[in-house]
A and B are shown apart, each in its own frame.
Chain A
Amino acid sequence: MVRRTLFAVAAVMVALLFICGCTGTTTDPVPDEKQQLRIATTTSLYDTKLLDHLTPIFEEQYNAEVLIISAGTGKALEYGQRGDVDVMMVHDRAREDTFLADGYGTNRRVFAYNYFVLVGPESDPAGVANMTPEAAFTAIREKGTAGDANVTFVSRGDASGTHSKEQAIWKAAGFNYTTEVKGSGDWYQEAGTGMGATLEMANEKEAYTLSDIGTYLAYKGDLDLVTIVDEGDILLNVYSAMQINPEKFPDINSTVAKDWVNFVISDDIQKEIASFGVDKYGQPLFYAAGDDWEKIGVTEAEVKDPIA
Chain B
Amino acid sequence: MYEIVEGFLEAARLIVTLDADVMAIALRSITISLTATVLAGLVAVPLGAAIYFGTFPGRKSLINLIQTLYSLPTVVVGLLIFLFISRVGPFGFMRLLFTPTAMVIAQTVLVLPIMTGLTISALSGVDPVIRDTLRSLGATHLQFLANVMKEARFAILAAVAVGFGRAISEVGAAILVGGNIMASSFASSTRVLTTAISLETSMGNISESIALGILLLLIALAVNLVITTVQHR
Q: Check B35–A17 contact: CB distance below 8 A.
A: yes
Is A145 in contact with chain B by the CB < 8 A criterion? no
Min C-beta distance of B219 to chain A, whole Å: 12
Known: A193-B202, A197-B202. A84 touches B185 (CB 8 A): no
Known: A38-B98, A193-B202, A196-B204. A24 touches B32 (CB 8 A): yes
**In the complex the two chains form, what is the Cα distance from A61 to B77 in whole Å?**
39
- Residues in A neighbouring B122, C-beta threshold 8 A: none
Q: Check A67–B188 contact: CB distance below 8 A.
A: yes
In A178-211, the 8 Å CB interface with B consists of 193-194, 196-197, 200
**In the complex the two chains form, what is the Cα distance from A66 to B188 in whole Å?**
9
Min C-beta distance of A243 to chain B, whole Å: 15
Known: A16-B34, A24-B104, A38-B98. A31 touches B187 (CB 8 A): yes
Interface pick from B113-121, B165-173, B175-183, B210-218: B175-183
Interface pick from A2-10, A131-139, A225-233, A267-275: A2-10
Q: Check B31–A69 contact: CB distance below 8 A.
A: no
- Residues in A neighbouring B182, C-beta threshold 8 A: 68
How many residues of chain B have a CB within 8 Å of chain A?
36
Q: Check A65–B202 contact: CB distance below 8 A.
A: no
Is B65 in contact with chain A by the CB < 8 A criterion? no
Min C-beta distance of B205 to chain A, whole Å: 9
- Residues in A neighbouring B35, C-beta threshold 8 A: 17, 20-21, 24-25
- Residues in A neighbouring B229, C-beta threshold 8 A: 2, 5-6, 9
Contact with B along A208-230 (1 / 0, CB 8 A): 00000000000100100000000
Point out the residue from B28, B104, B185, B226 that lies within 8 Å of A25, measured CB to CB.
Answer: B104
**A78 nearest in chain B by CB position:** B86
Is A300 in contact with chain B by the CB < 8 A criterion? no
Is B137 in contact with chain A by the CB < 8 A criterion? no
Min C-beta distance of B197 to chain A, whole Å: 13
Is A297 in contact with chain B by the CB < 8 A criterion? no
**In the complex the two chains form, what is the Cα distance from A70 to B191 in whole Å?**
12
Known: A6-B229, A38-B98, A67-B183. A84 touches B86 (CB 8 A): yes
Is A249 in contact with chain B by the CB < 8 A criterion? yes
Min C-beta distance of A48 to chain B, whole Å: 10
Min C-beta distance of A303 to chain B, whole Å: 29
Is A123 in contact with chain B by the CB < 8 A criterion? no
Q: Check A59–B184 contact: CB distance below 8 A.
A: yes
- Residues in B neighbouring A17, C-beta threshold 8 A: 34-35, 38
Is B230 in contact with chain A by the CB < 8 A criterion? yes
**A221 nearest in chain B by CB position:** B204
**In the complex the two chains form, what is the Cα distance from A31 to B185 in whole Å?**
10
Residue of A36, A55, A67 with most chain B CB atoms under a 10 A cut-off: A67
Q: Check B184–A56 contact: CB distance below 8 A.
A: yes
Q: Check B99–A29 contact: CB distance below 8 A.
A: yes
**In the complex the two chains form, what is the Cα distance from A19 to B28 in whole Å?**
12
- Residues in B neighbouring A36, C-beta threshold 8 A: 188
**In the complex the two chains form, what is the Cα distance from A197 to B99 in whole Å?**
25
- Residues in B neighbouring A55, C-beta threshold 8 A: 184
Min C-beta distance of B31 to chain A, whole Å: 4
Known: A5-B229, A69-B98. A82 touches B86 (CB 8 A): yes
Residue of B30, B95, B203 with most chain A CB atoms under a 10 A cut-off: B203
- Residues in B neighbouring A31, C-beta threshold 8 A: 185, 187
**A81 nearest in chain B by CB position:** B88
**In the complex the two chains form, what is the Cα distance from A56 to B185 in whole Å?**
12
Q: Check A25–B88 contact: CB distance below 8 A.
A: no
- Residues in A neighbouring B99, C-beta threshold 8 A: 29
**In the complex the two chains form, what is the Cα distance from A158 to B95 in whole Å?**
26
Q: Check A219–B183 contact: CB distance below 8 A.
A: no
**A85 nearest in chain B by CB position:** B98
**In the complex the two chains form, what is the Cα distance from A68 to B189 in whole Å?**
9
Q: Check B230–A83 contact: CB distance below 8 A.
A: no
Interface pairs (13), CB distance under 8 Å: A17-B34, A20-B35, A24-B104, A25-B101, A36-B188, A59-B184, A65-B188, A67-B183, A69-B180, A82-B86, A83-B92, A219-B203, A251-B95
Q: Which 10 A-B pairs have the closest CB atoms?
A: A83-B87, A197-B202, A69-B179, A24-B31, A222-B204, A20-B35, A24-B35, A20-B31, A82-B86, A67-B181
